[in-house]
């Protein structure tokens, strides 16, 4: 009996944990909610109004209109709920994009369904959604867009419907994982080829006519021109994805990797003007990447976020110890803990300004304030106390917010451990290194810095182990190999 109770308790705990959002949901304003609601109403009207145009209008027509209207409306809301569940940090602009694409497809079905293959109508928007919002949202979007057809007269082959679902699902699944524009191009070539062959096998050879007419028109039911049109529309979609990225703040994998390029002007400046900070950043990237891999987070996101987390130090590099290189410490010269605290806070405020100027996506900019959270600037607070300055402790704390996601929390922990690990004796044992890491992480935990990050105890344990692994690697690199004068071979 006790076993059953403990199993039930465990199951209840696991279920409860699965209900906790990984990231704090973004708040959507009333006006945006109203816009989203109106677009959903428009989707429902476009999907169902044709049913009311039949004459004579009878009860069964009205009933099926109500049913279709409700079906489209509920479908749109399910789509919004799923997208928010998959990506709680989705902004209102991005939700508007998802529903607007659904509305656009419903409208184009009315205007073009008789002339253009459904493949070209549904697959390209699925590519945009999977790239920006993730595969699950794209799959739900594809299901809703494929099921609801506003034109009752348009009926297409069951096999074509099946091919449409398969191709759109492949695009949705792969689109969310694609890491470069080149892979996107490959997808836009191979999917139409796949569609061509599957249509040839399932629909028939008689519907295939290669360019034989004088004037080439895209006609529905012509397998070759359908697939060619699909390839062209997909290529155009890829061309427009960067525009969607900047208008709707989408963060695709390709964009993340582009931002992580160390030749980007801001990162180049960091390496030239604040070399110490740049080195610190690279080491943090290694720590954070390893920890994120261990707990199954978004590695590309944290790598890019880590790269930009301290760009604010560019406003006054010499005020940060890693860039001082044995020269005079300006903090000692001014000897004013309050001013020093202001300079430290400024690296967050200025970082956010750099992020705005360089149009960094919000998810990356979040790393700038959240890696410091509301941590206490202990050294300067202590100095203020020594000088008998009567000052509120909060004045010596960063303004926050505390980390709102697992990734920003990992970065905060990596930031805290980096200096300690770097300063550690080369002969220190693994146990000593783990103790140092645990002490730093524990101090952040009891300070409440990890409260909104949803990191579980198990994940924190894994993070400690991964930091230890990175430290072992660093120690290995620092060990000098014995060389002899005569030994010139390697
Ligand atoms: Fe920082
Ligand atoms: Fe840092």
DSSP for 98-123 reads HHHHHHHHHHHHHHHTTTS-HHHHHH
Q: How far is the CA of 274 from the centre of ligand 1 (A)?
A: 13
Q: How far is the CA of 310 from the centre of ligand 2 (A)?
A: 5
Q: Which residues of 308-319 are buried (b: 16+ CB within 10 A; e: fewer)?
A: bbbbbbbbebbb
Q: What are phi and psi of 376, to 5 degrees?
A: -85, 140
Mention every residue, 6+ apart, whose C-beta is less than 8 A from residue 444: 373, 375, 412, 413, 416, 450
Domains of the chain: 22-255 (no CATH), 260-478 (1.10.3210)
Q: How far is the CA of 378 from the centre of ligand 1 (A)?
A: 14
Q: How far is the CA of 371 from the centre of ligand 1 (A)?
A: 7
Lowest-confidence pick of 9-13, 94-98, 135-139, 333-337? 9-13
Q: Does the structure show a pLDDT above 70 at 156?
A: no
Its sign, for the CA torsion 105, 111, 114, 120, is negative
- Of the listed ligands, the closest to the CA of 351 is 1
DSSP assigned state of 397: B
Q: How far is the CA of 296 from the centre of ligand 2 (A)?
A: 23
pLDDT band at 17 (very low <50, low <70, confident <90, very high): low
What pLDDT does 105 receive?
Answer: 92
Q: Find, among 86, 15, 17, the residue nearest to 457 by Cα.
A: 17
- Of the listed ligands, the closest to the CA of 347 is 1
Q: How far is the CA of 445 from the centre of ligand 1 (A)?
A: 18
Q: How far is the CA of 43 from the centre of ligand 1 (A)?
A: 46
CA distance 121 to 233: 9
pLDDT band at 212 (very low <50, low <70, confident <90, very high): very low
Q: What's the rounded mean pLDDT across residues 286-304?
A: 92
pLDDT band at 1 (very low <50, low <70, confident <90, very high): low
Q: What's the rounded mean pLDDT across residues 436-444?
A: 94
What pLDDT does 211 receive?
Answer: 43
- Of the listed ligands, the closest to the CA of 350 is 1
Q: How far is the CA of 277 from the centre of ligand 2 (A)?
A: 7
Q: Which residues surround ligand 2, an ion (CB under 5 A)?
A: 310, 415
CA distance 144 to 332: 64
Q: How far is the CA of 175 from the centre of ligand 1 (A)?
A: 34
Paired with 376 in beta bridges are 397
Q: Find, among 217, 220, 190, 218, the residue nearest to 207 by Cα.
A: 220
* Percent of the chain at pLDDT exceeding 70: 88
Q: How far is the CA of 481 from the centre of ligand 1 (A)?
A: 35
Q: How far is the CA of 347 from the centre of ligand 1 (A)?
A: 7
Q: Does the structure show a pLDDT above 80 at 9?
A: no
- Of the listed ligands, the closest to the CA of 373 is 1
Q: Does the structure show a pLDDT above 90 at 148?
A: no
- Of the listed ligands, the closest to the CA of 349 is 1
What pLDDT does 386 receive?
Answer: 81
What pLDDT does 110 receive?
Answer: 84
**HEC string for 167-213:** HHHHHHHHHCCCCCHHHHHHHHHHHHHHHHHHHHHHCCHHHCCCCCC
Q: How far is the CA of 451 from the centre of ligand 1 (A)?
A: 19
pLDDT band at 155 (very low <50, low <70, confident <90, very high): low
Q: How far is the CA of 27 from the centre of ligand 1 (A)?
A: 26
pLDDT band at 61 (very low <50, low <70, confident <90, very high): confident
pLDDT band at 217 (very low <50, low <70, confident <90, very high): very low
At 243-257, the pLDDT tens digits run 888 888 888 888 888
Q: What's the rounded mean pLDDT across residues 119-137?
A: 91
Q: How far is the CA of 235 from the centre of ligand 2 (A)?
A: 40
Q: How far is the CA of 312 from the centre of ligand 1 (A)?
A: 8
At 352-368, the pLDDT tens digits run 999 999 989 888 999 99
What pLDDT does 474 receive?
Answer: 80
- Report how far apart, in Å, the C-alpha atoms of 210 and of each of 188, 252, 389 are: 20, 36, 85
Q: How far is the CA of 186 from the centre of ligand 2 (A)?
A: 38
pLDDT band at 333 (very low <50, low <70, confident <90, very high): confident
Burial of 333 (0-12, 13-18, 19+ CB in 10 A): exposed
Average pLDDT, the chain: 84
What pLDDT does 81 receive?
Answer: 93
Q: How far is the CA of 367 from the centre of ligand 1 (A)?
A: 9
CA distance 411 to 417: 10
Lowest-confidence pick of 143-152, 218-227, 320-329, 405-414? 218-227
Q: How far is the CA of 277 from the centre of ligand 1 (A)?
A: 9
- Of the listed ligands, the closest to the CA of 348 is 1
Q: How far is the CA of 373 from the centre of ligand 1 (A)?
A: 10
Q: How far is the CA of 287 from the centre of ligand 1 (A)?
A: 15
Q: How far is the CA of 434 from the centre of ligand 1 (A)?
A: 23
DSSP assigned state of 488: -
Q: What's the rounded mean pLDDT across residues 91-113?
A: 90
Q: How far is the CA of 279 from the centre of ligand 2 (A)?
A: 10
Q: What are phi and psi of 319, to 5 degrees?
A: -85, -5
Q: Find, among 314, 313, 292, the residue nearest to 304 by Cα.
A: 292
Q: How far is the CA of 285 from the centre of ligand 1 (A)?
A: 13
* Percent of the chain at pLDDT exceeding 90: 44
CA distance 36 to 109: 21
What pLDDT does 99 receive?
Answer: 95
Count of Cβ atoms closer than 10 Å to residue 173 Cβ:
15
CA distance 130 to 187: 13
Q: Does the structure show a pLDDT above 80 at 18?
A: no
Q: How far is the CA of 341 from the centre of ligand 2 (A)?
A: 16
Q: What's the rounded mean pLDDT across residues 222-249?
A: 86
DSSP codes of every residue in 270-288: HHHH-HHHHHHHHHHHHHH
Q: How far is the CA of 415 from the centre of ligand 1 (A)?
A: 7
What pLDDT does 345 receive?
Answer: 92
- Of the listed ligands, the closest to the CA of 313 is 1
- Of the listed ligands, the closest to the CA of 280 is 2
């Amino acid at each position: 009996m006790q076993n059953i109770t403990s199993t039930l308790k465990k199951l209840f705990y696991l279920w409860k944990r699965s209900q906790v959002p990984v990231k704090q949901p973004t708040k959507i304003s009333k006006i945006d909610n109203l816009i989203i609601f109106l677009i959903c109403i428009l989707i429902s009207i476009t999907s169902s109004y044709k049913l009311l145009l039949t004459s004579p209008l009878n009860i069964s027509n009205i009933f099926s209109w109500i049913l279709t209207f409700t079906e489209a409306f509920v479908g749109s809301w399910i789509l919004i709920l799923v997208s928010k569940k998959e990506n709680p940090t989705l902004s209102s602009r991005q939700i508007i994009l998802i529903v607007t694409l659904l509305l656009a497809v419903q409208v184009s079905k009315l205007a073009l369904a008789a002339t253009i293959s459904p493949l070209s109508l549904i697959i390209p928007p699925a590519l945009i959604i999977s790239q920006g919002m993730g595969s699950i949202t794209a799959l739900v979007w594809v299901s809703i867009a494929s099921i609801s057809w506003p034109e009752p007269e348009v009926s297409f082959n069951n096999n074509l419907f099946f091919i449409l679902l398969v191709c759109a699902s492949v695009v949705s699944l792969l689109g969310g994982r694609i890491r470069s524009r080149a892979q996107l191009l490959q997808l836009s070539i191979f999917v139409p080829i796949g569609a061509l062959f599957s249509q040839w096998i399932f629909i028939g050879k008689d519907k295939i006519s290669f360019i034989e007419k004088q004037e080439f028109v895209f006609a529905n039911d012509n397998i070759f021109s359908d697939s060619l049109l699909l390839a062209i529309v997909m290529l155009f979609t890829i061309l427009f994805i960067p525009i969607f990225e900047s208008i709707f703040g989408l963060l695709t994998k390709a964009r993340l990797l582009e931002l992580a390029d160390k030749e980007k002007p801001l990162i180049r400046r960091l390496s030239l003007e604040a070399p110490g900070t740049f080195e610190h950043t690279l080491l943090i990237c290694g720590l954070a990447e390893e920890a994120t891999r261990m707990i199954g987070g978004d590695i590309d996101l944290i790598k890019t976020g880590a790269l930009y987390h301290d760009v604010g130090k560019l406003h006054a590099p010499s005020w940060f110890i890693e860039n001082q290189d044995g020269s005079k410490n300006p903090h000692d010269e001014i000897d004013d803990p309050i001013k020093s605290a202001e300079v430290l806070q400024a690296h967050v405020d200025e970082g956010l300004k750099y992020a705005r100027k360089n149009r960094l996506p919000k998810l990356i900019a979040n790393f700038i304030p959240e890696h410091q959270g509301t941590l206490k600037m202990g050294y300067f607070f202590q100095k203020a106390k020594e000088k008998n300055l009567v000052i509120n402790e909060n004045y010596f704390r960063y303004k926050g917010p505390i980390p709102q996601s697992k990734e920003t929390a990992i970065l905060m922990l990596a930031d805290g451990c980096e200096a300690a690990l770097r300063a550690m004796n080369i002969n220190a044992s693994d146990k000593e290194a783990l103790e140092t890491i645990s002490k730093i992480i524990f101090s952040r935990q009891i300070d409440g810095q990890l409260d909104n990050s949803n990191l579980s105890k198990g994940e924190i344990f894994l993070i400690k182990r991964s930091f230890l692994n990175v430290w072992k690697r660093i120690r290995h690199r620092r060990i000098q190999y014995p060389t002899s004068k005569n030994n010139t071979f390697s």
